[in-house]
């Protein structure tokens, strides 16, 4: 049985929660302005509907003879084909489902051959920065422009010893939204006989990613970034290193055969992708991710136009806020997705974020965004604010954010705030949680 995927429409895909009204400290309710898509994007309505359609058939995957198990297994395996199309993967590439981008890149880090030289830039998200440890890891300082990134990688690879080499690169910065020169980095990697892995977590929700066109060996992204917030992720790429390594996790599904040899167990591992998918898989999350891929893949023109218009409006408005300074990794104005991080002179980022939420019903992110090196270098150790756009963002959200931020900076907040466990919170916060939490 095939679970139907909704037909394409010319309209922009809608998200669950559009029009959600949240309480503010004045006692009113306002439409929630979700400017935190870079952390987690809301579910697409088509994803929600597809999950609802699947749930009556929800059952075990791969090892069940019952009809519902056969349906769930078909859904799970069809999802691999959807991800292949979404990423333009090669026929020989394997698709391994994981929990998220972090899980996927840790899996890859556990699977590279011994003594592999790994080269990456220090501006990476922690998911791409931290899995690689030891003397064979070469971290490069963030370049001032894309051309310098390519040149620095060329020099670094030329200095690495013979043997397997891997470049780890981001597609788009989760701090600034700036797009990295992935195809050019891949070309340099090829010249030195290296492979390249792409952290596509921030790029995949906003722009098409084609592994063959970019000439990338591996890509990882999360469902919760691409409007499928049901706990799934994916690692796609060349199978040989993954097939040659022991399973990332061991247990059911990862094993083809287990035998009792008295003082030890004899274990034959499954082939990829099952080799690295131990345990009962998240069929609901994987189906949600696959449907999100299909929907986004049919709406790139509308999605890009929507985000570019909102991003231009957001950046122009931010430039009118006294003391606001937008962060950039690169010199000049570079192509970017809908992510803007900034600081406001003399203002605490956490304080502003709390007031934007409590007084104006606006959700933004404050802190260092799991990219501490990049943020602290750009802010000289301060916390930053990040406003990130997506399919759930509107012109009204952007305009309200700019007006609210300007008012907070010029006139100050209308409510008192206190630090509680390191976070600013309204004094005597009167906002009631939704009934399902009581």
Could you list the active site residues?
A: 370
Per residue in 20-54, pLDDT (tens digit) is 999 999 999 999 999 999 999 999 999 999 999 99
Q: What is the band of 67 on the pLDDT scale with cuts at 50, 70, 90?
A: very high
Amino acid 307: pLDDT = 97
Query: The whole model's pTM is what?
Result: 0.95
pLDDT tens-digit map of 154-187 = 999 999 999 999 999 999 999 999 999 999 999 9
Q: How far is 129 from 146, CA to CA, in rounded Å? A: 19
Distance CA(406)–CA(210), nearest Å, equals 40
Q: Supply the pLDDT for residue 63.
A: 79
Q: What is the pLDDT of residue 262?
A: 87
What is the residue-wise DSSP string for 152-180? HHHHHHHHSPSS-EEEEEESB-TTT-BBP
Q: What is the pLDDT of residue 7?
A: 43
pLDDT of residue 3: 46
pLDDT tens digits for range 374-416? 999 999 999 999 999 999 999 999 999 999 999 999 999 999 9
CATH of domain 21-38+299-427: 3.90.1150.10
In sequence order, the β-bridge partners of residue 97 are 234
Q: What is the DSSP letter of 302?
A: H
Please give the pLDDT value at position 1. Answer: 40
Find residue 385's DSSP bridge partners.
342, 366
Pick the CATH number of 48-297 from 3.30.450.40, 3.30.420.40, 3.40.50.11540, 3.40.640.10: 3.40.640.10
| Domain boundaries defined on the chain | 21-38+299-427, 48-297
**What are the tens digits of pLDDT across the range 269-310?**
999 999 999 999 999 999 999 999 999 999 999 999 999 999
* Section 64-76 average pLDDT: 95
Confidence of residue 6 (pLDDT cuts 50, 70, 90): very low
End-to-end CA distance of the chain: 40
């Amino acid at each position: 049985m095939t679970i139907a995927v909704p037909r394409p429409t010319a309209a922009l895909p809608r998200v669950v929660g559009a029009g959600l009204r949240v309480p503010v400290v004045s006692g009113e309710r306002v439409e929630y302005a979700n400017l935190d898509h870079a952390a987690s994007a809301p579910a697409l309505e088509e994803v929600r509907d597809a999950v609802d359609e699947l749930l009556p058939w929800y059952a075990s995957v791969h090892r069940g003879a019952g009809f519902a198990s056969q349906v769930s297994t078909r859904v799970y395996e069809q999802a691999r084909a959807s991800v292949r199309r979404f990423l333009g993967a090669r026929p020989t590439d394997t698709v391994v489902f994981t929990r998220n981008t972090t899980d996927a890149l840790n899996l890859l880090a556990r699977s590279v051959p011994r003594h592999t030289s790994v080269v990456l830039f220090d501006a990476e998200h922690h998911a791409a920065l931290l899995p690689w440890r030891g003397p064979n890891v070469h971290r490069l300082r963030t370049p001032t422009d894309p051309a310098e990134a390519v040149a620095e990688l060329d020099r670094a690879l030329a200095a690495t010893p013979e043997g397997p080499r891997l470049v780890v690169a981001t597609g788009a910065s989760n701090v600034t939204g700036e797009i990295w020169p992935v195809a050019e980095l891949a070309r340099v990697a090829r010249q030195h006989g290296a492979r390249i892995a792409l952290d596509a977590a921030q790029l995949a929700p906003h722009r098409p990613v084609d592994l063959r066109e970019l000439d990338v060996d591996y890509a990882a992204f999360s469902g919760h970034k691409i409007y499928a917030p049901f706990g799934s992720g994916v690692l796609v790429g060349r199978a040989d290193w993954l097939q040659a390594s022991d399973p990332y996790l061991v247990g059911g599904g990862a094993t083809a055969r287990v035998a009792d040899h008295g003082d030890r167990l004899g274990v034959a591992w499954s082939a990829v992708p099952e080799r690295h998918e131990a345990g009962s898989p998240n069929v609901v999350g994987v189906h949600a991710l696959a449907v999100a891929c299909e929907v986004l893949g049919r709406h790139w023109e509308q999605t890009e136009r929507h985000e570019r218009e909102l991003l231009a409006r957001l950046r122009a408005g931010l430039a009118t806020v006294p003391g606001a300074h937008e962060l950039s990794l690169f010199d000049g104005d570079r192509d970017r997705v809908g992510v803007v991080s900034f600081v406001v002179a003399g203002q605490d980022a956490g304080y502003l974020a709390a007031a934007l939420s409590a007084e104006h019903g606006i959700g933004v992110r404050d802190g260092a965004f799991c990219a501490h090196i990049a943020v602290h270098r750009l802010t000289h150790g301060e916390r930053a604010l990040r406003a990130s756009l997506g399919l759930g963002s509107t012109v009204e959200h952007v305009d309200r954010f700019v007006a609210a931020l300007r008012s907070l900076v010029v006139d100050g907040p209308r409510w008192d705030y206190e630090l509680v466990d390191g976070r600013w919170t309204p004094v005597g916060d009167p906002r009631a949680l939704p009934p399902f939490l009581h």
